[in-house]
């Protein structure tokens, strides 16, 4: 398994001083979790808003391209916060995470796929907006991105159940 070869790396990361500080402190871990969740709220929330707009759901007050532009800053701020919080959470118990199948699937497959889809959408959305009506590919891209982020969230929820697979 790929995961088991990363266990020494996980063990090393877990014992870095910043990870040990977070693990020992009573309040730091909830604070880091709150950071990760706030980042996710901004990131996923803005992504879903643009995807739903691409699919034509919602009041369509703004075009998908306008929405994507106005939410751009919050979108990537949320991503940065989520990644920072996520990395800190991971480093606190890295050893257990690298052998967790749900976490491995989430990080190695689902997140890269969703991220690539998201970047493609953000790059192409203006091109799609210039056409008289939103092309079909835009709708497909929106629904694929929605599905992928849904899968990421499901994988994250299933992380506590990962060890039960063995």
Partner 1 sequence: MFRARKPGVLQRSVRARNHQVEVIEIANPESFYIVLTCLFSRTWLITCVYECVNQVDAVMNMLFQIADRLQDNPIIISLTSTGWTAAALAILHYYSMFVLVGSMVIVDLRVLGVLGRSYDTGDLARRIFPWVWFSLGVNLISGFIMFAGDATAYLPTWSFQLKVAVVLLAIVFGLLVQWRIPRWEASPVPRAEAKVVAIVSLLLWIGAILMGVEVPAISGIG
- Residues at the contact surface with partner 1, assessed by CB under 8 A: 29-30, 33-34, 37, 45, 153-154, 157-158, 160-161, 164-165
How far is it, in rounded angstroms, from Cα 142 to Cα 75?
A: 16
Helices and strands (H and E) in the chain: how many: 9, 0
* Cα angle value 105/106/109 (rounded, 5°): 65
Nearest approach in angstroms of CB 74 to partner 1 is: 11
Nearer to partner 1, 59 or 136 (CB): 59
Nearest approach in angstroms of CB 37 to partner 1 is: 7
How far is it, in rounded angstroms, from Cα 19 to Cα 97?
A: 14
Q: CB-based burial of residue 145 (10 Å sphere; 0-12 exposed, 13-18 middle, 19+ buried)?
A: buried
Nearest approach in angstroms of CB 41 to partner 1 is: 8
How far is it, in rounded angstroms, from Cα 166 to Cα 162?
A: 8
How far is it, in rounded angstroms, from Cα 78 to Cα 118?
A: 14
Nearer to partner 1, 138 or 156 (CB): 156
Nearer to partner 1, 110 or 138 (CB): 110
Nearer to partner 1, 35 or 143 (CB): 35
Nearest approach in angstroms of CB 133 to partner 1 is: 26
């Amino acid at each position: 398994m790929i995961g088991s070869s990363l266990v020494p790396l996980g063990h090393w990361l877990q014992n870095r001083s910043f990870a040990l500080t977070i693990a020992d402190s009573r309040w730091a871990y909830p604070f880091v979790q709150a950071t990760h969740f706030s980042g996710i709220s901004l990131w996923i929330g803005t992504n879903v808003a643009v995807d739903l707009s691409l699919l034509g759901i919602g009041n369509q007050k703004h075009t998908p391209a306008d929405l994507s532009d106005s939410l751009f800053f919050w979108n990537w701020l949320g991503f940065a916060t989520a990644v920072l919080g996520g990395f800190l959470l991971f480093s606190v118990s890295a050893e257990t995470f690298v052998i967790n199948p749900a976490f491995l699937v989430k990080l190695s497959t689902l997140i890269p796929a969703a991220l690539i889809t998201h970047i493609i959408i953000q790059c192409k959305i203006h091109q799609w907006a210039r056409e008289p009506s939103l092309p079909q590919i835009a709708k497909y891209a929106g629904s694929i991105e929605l599905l992928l982020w849904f899968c990421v969230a499901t994988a994250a929820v299933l992380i506590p159940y990962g060890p039960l697979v063995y």
